[in-house]
Structure 1
Amino acid sequence: MSEKHTASDTLVSFRGVQKSYDGESLIVKNLDLDIRKGEFLTMLGPSGSGKTTCLMMLAGFETPTHGEIRLGDKLLNHVPPHKRNIGMVFQNYALFPHMTVAENLAYPLTIRKMSKSEITDRVKKALGMVKLDALANRYPGQMSGGQQQRVALARALVFEPQLVLMDEPLGALDKQLREHMQLEIKHIHENLGITVVYVTHDQGEALTMSDRVAVFKDGIIQQIDAANVLYEKPVNSFVANFIGENNTLHGEVVAVQDQHCTVRLGNGNTVQAAAVCVGKAGEATSMSIRPERVRLNRYAEACENRLQARLAEFIYFGDHVRLRLDVAGQSGFMVKVPAGELDSSWKVGDTLDIGWMARDIRALDASVYTH
C-alpha cells in the first residue's frame, strides 16, 4: 500500500473472508482488506471476479462462508442490512414509483422514527446536495434516468450514514451524463467526508473517482493502490492489461541485475526493462508499456530502448492519432501521437524508429490476459 495508516483510521475490515455458493468453488478467496475512514475505494474487476459479492456481504445481502467483516469495532456477519446504517445506491435506482421525490427521501428517515421537522430539514438538505430542489413533488416516472439516479444518491445520503455503498450506479446512463455524475459523486464525497465503497467494471470510472482502487480477479485482490500507481506501476500482467491501454511485448529474460533486466524479443532484439515479476535468466516474460510512453523517429534517439516498427494503421481520435505498429514480430502495438506532431508524409507500410526508456517498460509474469 502506498500510505501508512493505523487501525484507528480503519472503518471497515475484512479478515479471511471467503464466499462460496456451492460449498466447492470460492467466489471470494481469503480476503483481507481495510477500508479507511473518509476514503473513496473502488472495487474494480471483470464479471465474476468477486467485487459485487464483497459489496453484498458488506451490505448484509450475502453472508460470508468464512471470516469476519467489521464496521468500526462491530462484527457485521449476522447483522441484518437495515440495522447496519449503511447507505446503498444501485444501478436500477430502486425508487418507490408511488412516492414523490420528497417522500422517497423521507422514507428512510420515517422508519428511523425521526421527528417531522428533522425529516423536512434533512430532505431539503439532501435535495440541495444533488440540485433537485425544484423537483421535490415529482414522481420518479416523470423524471429522466439521470434525475432518478440523483434521487437514489440523495436517499442513500439523507440519513447521514458513515458508509455508502454504490453498485454500478451509473451503468444505465449515457456516456456524457455518466462523466458528469462521476464528478458530482466525487464532489459530494469530498464535501461530506463520508466513506464510499464503489463497484464498477469500468476502469476509466475507477481511475477518475477513487482515492484507491482494488483490482479483483478470481476472488482475489491483485493490487490495491492509488489510481496513478496502478496505472504507472502495475504489479502483474493482469493489472497492466485491465487498467488503461497497454502494449505487451513477449520475450525471454537474458539477465537480471538489481531492479533491471535484459529481455530478448522474438526477433532477437534485446530491451532493458524494470524487473517486476521476473526471477532469473531463461524465464518467459510479458512486458508492459503504455502507448504514450513510446517515442517515434527523432524523439526515439535519446531512448535506452530503440527498435524498428512497421506502420500498419492510422486511427483518428481528434486531439491525437493512434498508430498501430508491427514490432518485433508482434502486431497490435499502439502509439499515441498528438495531432500536431503527426508527420504528414507517413503512410501505411513505412518503417519507423521507435523508442522508450527502460524505466517505462515493466517485465511482468508471462501470462496473457485480454479484456
Structure 2
Amino acid sequence: MSTIVSFKNVQKTYDGETLVVKNLNLDIRTGEFLTMLGPSGSGKTTCLMMLAGFETATHGEILLKGKPINRIPPERRNIGMVFQSYALFPHMSVAENLAFPLKVRKVPCSEAGERVKKALAMVNMQSFANRMPAQLSGGQQQRIAVARALVFEPALVLMDEPLGALDKQLREQMQYEIKRIHEESGLTVVYVTHDQGEAMTMSDRIAVFNNGIIQQLAPPSELYEQPENAFVARFIGENNELKGTVSEMHDHGCVVELPHGGSVRASAGSGIAVGSTAGISLRPERITIGEGARQCDNVFHGGVKDLIYYGDHLRIVMVVCGHDDFIVKVPNDGMNRRVRVGDGIDVGWMADGCRALR
C-alpha cells in the first residue's frame, strides 16, 4: 500500500524549551483510517494541526504524496478538515456552506452544484440544502461539516474530535456514518480523539500518543491483545495491573513473583528480563471465577468487595493479591448471579491471557 503522508523527524515546541512532539516518524497509508489517540497534552492534536498547516513544525519535514508541505499554506494543501465546533457559516444555507470551498477554488457554478448534491447524498442530507445551520440539530450540523470537508474531493480528510459535542447515542450513530463514508469513498482519514472506545470502533490503525511520542502504532486488536508497554495497556480498554519481579524467562513467556506472595505465569512483552520489575496486564474478561478458576495456569483466592450490574454482564470488584480494586467481568448468567458481597472465591486466568510489561 502506498504512503500518502510522512512525518520525518518532526518536532514541535511552543516555548523553545519543552517539546510537545518529539522526533515523530510516521507513515500514513493511502485509503486508511488512522486515529491519533491519547490523553490531553499528549501531542496528537498538534500533529494534526501541523499536517493541516495551522501550526508549523519546529524541526523535521512533513510530506504529502512525497512532496514537502511545511511551507505550503493550509488553503493550498487540498486537505479537508472537520472540527468539533462544526465551524459552519451561520449566515449561509447548507448548500451555500458546501459551495463556499468550491467557490474559493474557482470551480464553475454548474459543476459546483453537482458536487454539493453529491456531498449531501453521501451524508443523507439531500432535503436540507436550503436550511440554515441554526435550524439543524447538532448531529445534522456535524453531517454538514463532514460533507463540506468532502465536497472539493480532497486527497486527505482530517477530523479533530468531531463527535465530542454529541450525546452518546448520536455519537455512536455518527461513528458508523463516518466509517461508512470512509469505506465507500476510499478516502484517507486522520482522526484525533481521546476516546479509546471511539478509536477502537472506527480505525484501521491507531497511534497511541503520550508525552509527544507514539507509544505504539497498530490495529485495534493488536493494541488490545499485545500492548507494548504499561501505558498502552492502561489506556486501551480496562486493565488490572499486578506489579512484581521477573524470576524466570522461558520460551512461552515468564514468571513474575508478586510482593504479597505467589507468582504469575505470563506472556512477556519487549524488554522483560530476569530481575526486572514488570507490571502484569490482565483484562477483566480474561478472568474465571469459582470452580473453573482451578483449571487455570494462575489461581488465587480473593474476596468480593462490590457487585455492579451491567445487564449482559456483572462487574465484580475484588480484593486479590493485595489489590482492593481488582476487576472481574463475568456473564450475567444464573451461576454468576449467586456471587455475593463478602464471599471468598477463587479467581484464575491462563498464562497467555496476561502480559508482563515494562
For 2:273 and 2:336, the matched residues in 1 are separated by: 41
For 2:7 and 2:142, the matched residues in 1 are separated by: 29
1:95 is matched with which residue? 88
2:338 is matched with which residue? 345
* Structure 1 gaps, min length 5: 366-371
1:75 is matched with which residue? 68
For 1:281 and 1:196, the matched residues in 2 are separated by: 43
Could you give the per-residue CA deviations for residues 79-133 of structure 1, whole angstroms, max 9, x where no partner exists?
Answer: 0000000000000011000000000000001111111111110000111111111
| Aligned partner of residue 54 in structure 1, secondary structure | helix
Aligned partner (choices 144, 169, 193) of residue 137 of structure 2: 144
For 1:341 and 1:252, the matched residues in 2 are separated by: 39
For 1:241 and 1:279, the matched residues in 2 are separated by: 18
Instruction: Call closer, same or farther: CA 1:121–1:271 in 2, change over 3 Å.
Output: same
2:258 is matched with which residue? 265
2:246 is matched with which residue? 253
1:241 is matched with which residue? 234
Counting only pairs closer than 5 Å after superposition, residues 48-59 of structure 1 correspond to structure 2 as 48-59=41-52
Aligned partner (choices 100, 116, 124) of residue 123 of structure 1: 116
2:126 is matched with which residue? 133
Give TM-score, length-normalised by structure 1: 0.95
| Aligned partner of residue 163 in structure 2, secondary structure | coil
Q: Contact 2:330–2:336 (CA<8 Å) still a contact in 1? A: no
Deviation at 1:350?
A: 1.1
For 2:179 and 2:350, the matched residues in 1 are separated by: 35
* Amino acid across the alignment from 2:113: T
For 1:53 and 1:163, the matched residues in 2 are separated by: 17
Deviation at 1:343?
A: 3.1
For 1:54 and 1:162, the matched residues in 2 are separated by: 18
Deviation at 1:280?
A: 2.9
How many pairs are equivalent? 358
1:328 is matched with which residue? 321
Q: Contact 2:159–2:192 (CA<8 Å) still a contact in 1? A: yes
2:166 corresponds to 1:173: yes
| Aligned partner of residue 282 in structure 1, secondary structure | coil
* Amino acid across the alignment from 2:19: L
For 2:271 and 2:249, the matched residues in 1 are separated by: 8
Q: Contact 1:311–1:352 (CA<8 Å) still a contact in 2? A: yes
For 1:344 and 1:166, the matched residues in 2 are separated by: 43
2:79 corresponds to 1:86: yes
Could you give the per-residue CA deviations for residues 139-172 of structure 1, whole angstroms, max 9, x where no partner exists?
Answer: 0011111110000000000011110000000000
For 1:222 and 1:278, the matched residues in 2 are separated by: 14
2:5 is matched with which residue? 12
* Amino acid across the alignment from 1:11: I
2:278 is matched with which residue? 285
* Amino acid across the alignment from 1:26: L
Could you give the per-residue CA deviations for residues 286-309 of structure 1, whole angstroms, max 9, x where no partner exists?
Answer: 100111100111221221111111
For 1:258 and 1:27, the matched residues in 2 are separated by: 39
Deviation at 1:259?
A: 4.5
2:148 is matched with which residue? 155
| Aligned partner of residue 311 in structure 2, secondary structure | coil
Aligned partner (choices 38, 46, 64) of residue 45 of structure 1: 38
Deviation at 1:284?
A: 1.6
For 1:281 and 1:293, the matched residues in 2 are separated by: 25
Q: Contact 1:306–1:354 (CA<8 Å) still a contact in 2? A: yes
Q: Contact 1:31–1:220 (CA<8 Å) still a contact in 2? A: yes
Indicate the percent of aligned positions where both proteins have the same amino acid. 62
Deviation at 1:265?
A: 1.3
For 1:202 and 1:279, the matched residues in 2 are separated by: 29
1:306 is matched with which residue? 299
Q: Contact 1:259–1:276 (CA<8 Å) still a contact in 2? A: no
